[in-house]
Structure 1
Amino acid sequence: MRYFILFWEYLKNYAKTRLTYRSDFWIEVMSDLLGQALNLIFILVVFRHTASLGGWSEAEVIFVYGFFMIPYGIFGTFFNVWNFGERYIVKGEMDRILTRPAHSLFQVLLENLDPPALIGSAVGAVIMGLCWSDLGLPFYPVHVLMLLLFTAGAVLVYSGIYTLLAAISFFSDSPTGIMPLMYNIQNYGRYPVHIYNKIIRFVLTWLLPFAFVGVIPASYFLGAKEGGMDKLALLTPVMGVIVFGIGLSLWNYGVKRYRGAGS
């Protein structure tokens, strides 16, 4: 309950700040929507030159992209750790965080809330719904539960990987450029993994499991696919817990090792 109250207070402060600078809020929203629109246009352009992509139709790939947007929007709202190293380690703000009686990661996440990113999740849900109808997929009440489970698992995969990357800053305060690299790699998870070679498929599935934030869980709703991905989708929540557990463990270890910014 204490953490929920903290979350609510931070959310209210965010709203007050954004109401003061409303133009910035809407510019950010439009910028996010434009970025998502460009990604969708890229998929449409690809299918102007081919009838299928690794055996997947245009509607199926767009369906996967729609699912991909849902957990990514939630992750972008609550797990903004892009500038953690520069702001909290290099500039010493981690010292302030550690003087407060709440978990350090929770505080960092609350200070960097970005609710406009949820609009991307809403757009993704609309895209999924349209493609669901276009593909003539059956709909059962259990699909709602599975969608929630897969979304939670995908969010945890995102969160675990980026928490782990942020935690590296505890051991090296020099900019590494890993975050932008990982941002580019994650986009591979919105395409059928079987279009890549075996090494890339292995990396995207088991080492940097971005396939579990898009194509694998989405395949559950699309039915049987090459490699049994619809069955592999059931591992999404498990993979999320494992990856987030690893990221959080490294974070906690880094906090114990942290000795302050000094002078």
Structure 2
Amino acid sequence: MFYTSMFFQYISQYLKTRFQYRGDLFVEFFSDLLSQAINLIFILVVFGHTSLLNGWNRDEIIFIYGFFLVPYAVFSAFFNIWDFNERYIVKGELDRILTRPIHSLFQIILERIELESLLGAITGLAVMFYSGAKLGLDVKWYDPFLFLIFVVGGALVYGGVFIMIACISFWADARTSLMPMMYNISNYGRYPVDIYNKIIRFVLTWVLPFAFVGVYPAAYFLGKKEWFVYAFLTPVIGIIFFALSILLWNQGVKKYRGAGN
């Protein structure tokens, strides 16, 4: 109950702050929408030169991209820790966090929350409905529930991986960061993994499992039965990686000795 209360208090303060600057909120939403549109145009350009991509047609790729946007929006809203090294380790703000009687990661997540990123989920749903209608997908009564489970699983995969990357700062507090490179690698999860070679496919499935954010769960709704096992592994992989990231974080906090040392 204590953590639930703290969560809603943080949300309340965040909304008060954001609505003081509605213009900034609109600009951020427009820039995100423009970025998503550019990625969609890239897919359309690719399929302007070919009708199939290793057996996947244009509307299937668009559907996967639309699905990818939903868990990515959840991740972007609640796991905005890309500047953890610079802000909390190098500048020493983690010292402030550790003086409070609440888990440090929970505080950092809520301090860096960006609820406007959830608007990207609306774009993703719109893209999914458009491509799904073009494909004539058959929706079962339980599919919305599976969709929510897959979205949560995908967001936990993202969160787990990036928390682990942030934890490196506890042992190596240099200003350089792996975050930008990891964000670029994560984009591979929005495309079918079988268009890559075996090594990349293995990495995107078991090492940096970004394929569980986009293509694997989306393949279930596309009726790709050969991927069903991977689709239903999505929440399992998400829980495993997120749990491992929490354990690594707790060990990192024990290692941390303050900005002055």
Partner of 1:239: 237
CA shift for structure 1 position 176: 2.9
Partner of 1:180: 180
Measured in 2, the distance between the counterparts of 1:215 and 1:147 equals 13
1:14-56, Cα deviation, whole Å (9 max, x unpaired): 1221222221111111111111111111111111011011100
Scaled by the length of structure 1, the TM-score of the pair is 0.97
Partner of 1:252: 250
Contact 2:157 2:238 in 1 (8 A): yes
Partner of 2:44: 44
Partner of 1:68: 68
Partner of 2:99: 99
Measured in 2, the distance between the counterparts of 1:4 and 1:122 equals 26
CA shift for structure 1 position 189: 0.6
Contact 1:74 1:117 in 2 (8 A): yes
CA shift for structure 1 position 233: 0.6
CA shift for structure 1 position 170: 0.8
CA shift for structure 1 position 249: 1.0
Query: Which amino acid in structure 2 is aligned with residue 217 of structure 1?
Result: P
Contact 2:212 2:230 in 1 (8 A): no
Aligned pairs for 1:1-263 within 5 A:
1-224=1-224, 228-262=226-260
Secondary structure of the residue aligned to 1:141 is coil
Secondary structure of the residue aligned to 2:259 is coil
1:135-164, Cα deviation, whole Å (9 max, x unpaired): 111111111111011111101100000000
Scaled by the length of structure 2, the TM-score of the pair is 0.97
Query: Which amino acid in structure 2 is aligned with residue 187 of structure 1?
Result: N
Query: Which amino acid in structure 2 is aligned with residue 234 of structure 1?
Result: F
CA shift for structure 1 position 175: 2.6
Secondary structure of the residue aligned to 1:74 is helix
Give the ranges of 4+ consecutive aligned residues of structure 1 lying more than 3 Å apart after TM superposition.
none
Which blocks of at least 5 consecutive residues in structure 2 are unaligned? none
Contact 2:85 2:177 in 1 (8 A): no
Measured in 2, the distance between the counterparts of 1:222 and 1:141 equals 15
Contact 1:222 1:230 in 2 (8 A): no
CA shift for structure 1 position 169: 0.8
Measured in 2, the distance between the counterparts of 1:160 and 1:74 equals 13
